[in-house]
Amino acid sequence: MDNTPDSLQPKFNRVLLKISGEALMGDQGFGLHPPTVQRIAREVKTVHDLGVEICMVIGGGNIFRGLSGSAQGMERTTADYMGMLATIMNALAMQSALEELGVFTRVISAIRMDEVAEPYIRRRAVRHLEKKRVCIFAAGTGNPYFTTDTAATLRANEMACEAIFKGTKVDGVYDKDPKKHADAKRYDNVTYDEVLAQHLGVMDASAIALARDNNLPIIVFSLDEPGGFRGILAGQGTYTSVHG
């Protein structure tokens, strides 16, 4: 196969990339690591250059995680809203990195803050995608008690995405942590029900159930592998497909 940008026919036309906030902090223990943000932005650009329409959802765990805040005695709703605000910061950082590369983006927030982001209006967001802008959905669903995994699955369905790409630290779904267990087994394919029954930790249960109910495949791959995101769209690379 000739994999030049002109000849490559991507497997999907519209996808959602879900990454954790921790993916943006590099080797730091907290916050944003600009070179790491820029590296991920370059990965997104290589896929965007193929003509693929891209949505993104980024977690906020590098700045604040609502669940851990509530575990330390903070009221859960307040903690979750703080986590949503953290995702806004990450989205703006990614927007800046992408636009430095010449990729037009829109940060679209489920919580209104008109000075820094657009409010979420589904038809407007679809139009941005049609105009080849990268849409970065921030602030989760706008509701406490829902994770950014669930927000990603919700937005992917609303935007009629053909797949969710879940970027992680490992190259797929394993039966146990491969960094702790040398005998960990990687799955090439796994069903939604197997993920739920075996607690494989791909996404939280509500996100998996929402993907299953709408037959939305989830591709789990390593965000640390250069060219991995683009390679999978070309039918190459190592990943796990979660499907019906």
Q: What is the CATH number of the domain that holds 151?
A: 3.40.1160.10
Checking if the pLDDT of 70 tops 80, the result is: no
120 is in an annotated binding site: no
pLDDT at 7: 57
102 is in an annotated binding site: no
165 is in an annotated binding site: no
105 is in an annotated binding site: no
87 is in an annotated binding site: no
Q: Contact at 8 Å (CB) between 32 and 96? A: no
User: Is 7 a domain residue?
Assistant: no
SS3 161: coil
244 is in an annotated binding site: no
108 is in an annotated binding site: no
59 is in an annotated binding site: no
3 is in an annotated binding site: no
For the entire predicted model, the pTM comes to: 0.93
144 is in an annotated binding site: yes
User: Is 8 a domain residue?
Assistant: no
Domain encompassing residue 210: 14-243
> Alpha helices, DSSP H only, in 58-204?
66-71, 76-100, 122-130, 148-158, 192-197
Q: Please give the DSSP secondary-structure letter assigned to residue 133.
A: P
SS3 174: strand
26 is in an annotated binding site: no
- The 10s digit of each residue's pLDDT in 134-146 is 999 999 999 999 9
- The 10s digit of each residue's pLDDT in 112-160 is 999 999 999 999 999 999 999 999 999 999 999 999 999 999 999 999 9
User: What is the C-alpha to C-alpha distance for residues 209 and 95, in angstroms, rounded to an integer?
Assistant: 30
User: Is 2 a domain residue?
Assistant: no
Rg, Å, the chain Cα set: 17
168 is in an annotated binding site: yes
User: Is 9 a domain residue?
Assistant: no
Average pLDDT over residues 42-66: 95
User: What is the C-alpha to C-alpha distance for residues 13 and 129, in angstroms, rounded to an integer?
Assistant: 11
Contacts (Cβ under 8 Å, ≥6 apart) of 134: 44, 48, 54, 55, 56, 98, 103, 104, 105, 106
For residue 51, which amino acid is it?
Answer: G
| Tally of domains in the chain | 1
Mean per-residue pLDDT of the chain: 93
User: Is 5 a domain residue?
Assistant: no
Spell out where the chain has E strands: 14-19, 53-58, 105-109, 118-119, 134-138, 163-168, 173-174, 186-187, 189-191, 218-222, 240-243
174 is in an annotated binding site: yes
Strands 186-187 and 173-174: antiparallel
Please give the structure tokens belonging to residue 204: 């939280």
User: Is 137 a domain residue?
Assistant: yes
Please give the structure tokens belonging to residue 194: 């197997």
SS3 78: helix
